[in-house]
């Protein structure tokens, strides 16, 4: 007989996936349109004038970063908006009254966020093939780093939603923290082009490590040590996961 | 057999310092149909919220079916079905999806969940609406949807927080029949309501809560028996302009709008005596009616005293 926890977990994942598929014009279509514009304007029009970056043509250089940017924003956005919407409509109470352990609630929402992040990342990757060639230098690194990144940002999205008390609160972090960190995370340039002090500052940005490791998996070049990037991702998963569990266990923002 | 619900010295102080429960004790035996009554803000929803794991308690113990809320929360949750006061489903989901989804949270395999959902949606006259988004349902249908959702894992105890608020009389009475049948089949039902007629009709036992304290608890009939005053309004063939002094002194009579008389009877006084008094003063009564139902009077008396 199927374990009740497994049924509960698949129920949450099924609901989350069904939600983002049902509203695909809000979830799957926008990253496709935005990224095609990036490919055309930055990759094709401006990139032609820039020439090579890190030994690869500019389009090939920016595509991994743009895929990663898509995965980050969509994993985060899926969980933060879905969980907050559950709070707002009080439908989170369906979970709170039921015997679903908090780690299953966390896992279910995170897998939902990862699913949307990867779905959007895959769409952008397929669209990028119209513009450039992606050699996939190391499949294991490519897949593992994108999965871990999606997990990290899904958990972060859930924490954001737990603290949020109004819809504005779930847009503040993406607008004022995630987007600047992503743009400054080496999506459009190699940090080796920056003056030393800015290189040092850039290396405090965790997204730089995620983008570069993913880029290494696809085209085989990176500005940072790959081993450290994995260590950092692991620490983020553990610390953020622990924090999210603490918040769920104490009922912060969920139970009065 | 363990009681369905045992609450002992339950205290709740909210973060803003408001003390909603002052150490209440409450016992509901298995198979009971129990009402928890009280004015707005008395602590009804807080009490049931704690039992349902929607509110954190400050101190005290709660046992459901013998399971301790602190150490056996999962078993407590499996024993309970919860119908809250406010609609708490995703309004964009379809009716069937909401019920099946909830069954999944309780670990019911999808096939069984679909069968159960069909059973309860049919019993609550919602099967025809199974593919309708919840936001399109009427208020009464939304309440029934929450009942179907709460029953899908077939809990031993059903908690309903004002289940018939805002529904019309016909639907309310059909819900009463449904809940009565459910109780007859062995489900313990605990409800809060503002319709005191509902509590008097359905619930053999009740408790009245006021300002975070239980101010009365016991069998409904016994509580009403203790109530020593009933209020009536009598209409007459002619409009009354002056009250006979005996009616005022013995029955607290007052004139009310339209020339009718409102009066009270206490324990030991009969309506026959009142009619005799009417006859004595040539007052021809054409109708007499209770001003409020007895439970309502008891409720008002007790909650007023507690203030």
Q: Where are the beta strands (DSSP E) in chain B?
A: 5-13, 19-28, 33-37, 59-64, 67-68, 80-83, 157-161, 188-192, 205-210, 213-219, 229-236, 254-256, 260-266, 285-290
Residue contact B101–A94, C-beta within 8 A: yes
pLDDT band at A245; cut points 50, 70, 90: very high
pLDDT in tens, A209-232: 899 899 999 988 887 888 988 999
| Chain A residues near residue B88 by CB distance under 8 angstroms | 89-91, 93-94
Q: Report chain A's mean pLDDT, rounded to a whole number.
A: 91
CA A209, A207, A118, A132 torsion: positive or negative? Answer: negative
Residue contact B88–A15, C-beta within 8 A: no
Closest of B81, B40, B123, B288 to residue A99, by C-alpha: B81
pLDDT band at A69; cut points 50, 70, 90: very high
Residue B211: predicted pLDDT: 87
Residue A183: predicted pLDDT: 86
The residues, any chain, with a CB within 8 Å of residue A25's CB and separated by 6 or more, are none
Interface of A with B in 101-130 (CB under 8 A): 101
Residue found by looking up tokens 């339950």 in the block: B10
CA B255, B259, B264, B265 torsion: positive or negative? Answer: positive
Residue found by looking up tokens 């908006």 in the block: A81
Where is pLDDT greater, at A86 or A192? A86
User: DSSP string covering B171-182, please?
Assistant: HHHHHHHHHHHH
Residue B89 touches partner A, C-beta closer than 8 Å: yes
Residue A1: predicted pLDDT: 59
pLDDT means per 10 residues, chain B with 307 residues, are 92 92 93 90 91 94 95 94 92 94 94 95 94 93 94 95 83 88 94 82 89 88 73 86 86 85 84 88 87 70 67
In a domain, A10, yes or no: yes
Longest pairwise C-alpha distance within chain B: 75
In a domain, A16, yes or no: yes
Residue contact B149–A93, C-beta within 8 A: no
- Among the residue ranges A41-45, A242-246, B66-70, the one predicted with the least confidence is A41-45
CA distance B171 to B126: 13
Residue A111: predicted pLDDT: 98
Question: Crossing angle, helix A4-22 and helix B95-105, to 10 degrees?
Answer: 150
Q: Domain range for residue A174?
A: 4-250
Closest of A155, A177, A9, A163 to residue A84, by C-alpha: A163
Which CATH class for the B228-305 domain? Answer: alpha beta
Q: How many domains does chain A have?
A: 1
Closest of A210, A188, A187, A186 to residue A198, by C-alpha: A186
Contact A100, A4 (CB under 8 A): no
CATH architecture of B5-224: 3-Layer(aba) Sandwich (3.40)
Longest pairwise C-alpha distance within chain A: 62
In a domain, A255, yes or no: no
**How many residue pairs bridge chain A and chain B with CB atoms within 8 Å of each other?**
82
Residue B279 touches partner A, C-beta closer than 8 Å: no
CA distance B107 to B97: 15
In a domain, A256, yes or no: no
pLDDT in tens, B131-177: 999 999 998 899 999 999 999 999 999 999 988 887 888 888 888 89
| Domain extent listing, chain B | 5-224, 228-305
Question: Crossing angle, helix A226-250 and helix A102-128, to 10 degrees?
Answer: 140
pLDDT in tens, B116-140: 999 999 999 999 999 999 999 998 8
CA distance B135 to B95: 9
Residue B134 touches partner A, C-beta closer than 8 Å: no
Q: Find the closest chain B residue to A250 by CA distance.
A: B56
Residue B293: predicted pLDDT: 64
Residue B292: predicted pLDDT: 65
């Amino acid at each position: 007989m199927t374990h009740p926890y497994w049924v509960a977990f698949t129920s949450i994942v099924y609901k989350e996936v069904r939600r983002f598929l049902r509203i695909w014009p809000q979830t799957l279509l926008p990253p496709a349109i935005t990224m095609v514009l990036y490919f055309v304007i930055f990759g094709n029009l401006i990139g032609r004038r820039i020439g090579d970056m890190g030994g690869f043509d500019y389009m090939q250089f920016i595509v991994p970063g743009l895929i990663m940017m898509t995965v980050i924003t969509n994993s985060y956005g899926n969980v933060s908006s879905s969980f907050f919407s559950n709070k707002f409509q009080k439908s989170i109470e369906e979970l709170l009254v039921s015997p679903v352990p908090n780690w299953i609630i966390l896992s279910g929402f995170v897998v939902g966020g990862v699913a949307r992040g990867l779905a959007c990342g895959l769409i952008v990757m397929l669209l990028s093939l119209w513009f450039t060639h992606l050699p996939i230098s190391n499949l294991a690194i490519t897949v593992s780093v994108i999965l871990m990144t999606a997990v990290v940002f899904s958990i972060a999205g859930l924490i954001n939603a737990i603290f949020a008390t109004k819809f504005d609160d779930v847009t503040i972090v993406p607008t004022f923290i995630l987007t600047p960190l992503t743009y400054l995370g080496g999506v459009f340039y190699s940090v080796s082009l920056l003056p030393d002090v800015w290189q040092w500052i850039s290396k405090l940005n965790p997204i730089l490590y995620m983008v570069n490791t993913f880029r290494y998996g696809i085209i085989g070049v990176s500005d940072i040590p790959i081993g450290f990037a994995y260590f950092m991702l692991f620490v983020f998963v553990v610390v953020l996961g622990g924090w999210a569990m603490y918040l769920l266990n104490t009922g912060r923002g969920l139970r009065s | 057999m363990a009681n369905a619900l045992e609450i002992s010295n339950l205290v709740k102080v909210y973060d803003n310092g408001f003390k909603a429960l002052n150490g209440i004790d409450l016992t509901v035996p298995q198979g009971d149909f129990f009402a928890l009554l009280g004015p707005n803000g008395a602590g009804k929803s807080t009490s049931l919220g704690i039992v349902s794991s929607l509110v954190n308690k400050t101190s005290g113990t709660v046992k459901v079916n013998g399971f301790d809320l602190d150490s056996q929360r999962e078993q407590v949750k499996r024993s309970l079905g919860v119908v809250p006061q406010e609609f708490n489903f995703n309004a964009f989901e379809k009716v069937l999806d909401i019920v099946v989804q909830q069954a999944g949270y309780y670990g019911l395999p999808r096939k069984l969940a679909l069968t159960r959902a069909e059973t309860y949606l049919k019993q609550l006259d919602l099967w025809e609406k199974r593919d309708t988004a919840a936001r399109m349902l009427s208020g009464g249908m939304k309440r029934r949807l929450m009942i179907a959702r709460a029953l899908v894992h077939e809990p031993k105890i059903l908690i309903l927080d004002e289940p018939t608020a805002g529904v019309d009389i016909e639907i309310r009475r059909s819900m009463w029949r449904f809940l009565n049948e459910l109780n007859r089949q062995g489900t313990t039902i605990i409800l809060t309501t503002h319709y005191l007629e509902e509590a008097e009709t359905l619930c053999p036992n009740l408790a009245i809560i006021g300002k975070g304290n239980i101010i009365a608890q016991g069998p409904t009939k016994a509580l009403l028996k203790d109530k020593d005053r009933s209020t009536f309004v009598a209409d007459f063939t002619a409009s009354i302009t002056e009250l006979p002094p005996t009616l005022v002194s013995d029955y607290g009579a007052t004139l009310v709008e339209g020339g009718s008389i409102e009066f009270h009877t206490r324990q030991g006084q009969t309506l026959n005596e009142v009619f005799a008094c009417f006859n004595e003063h040539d007052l021809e009564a054409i109708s007499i009616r209770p001003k409020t139902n007895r439970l309502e009077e008891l409720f008002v008396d007790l909650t007023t005293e507690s203030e």
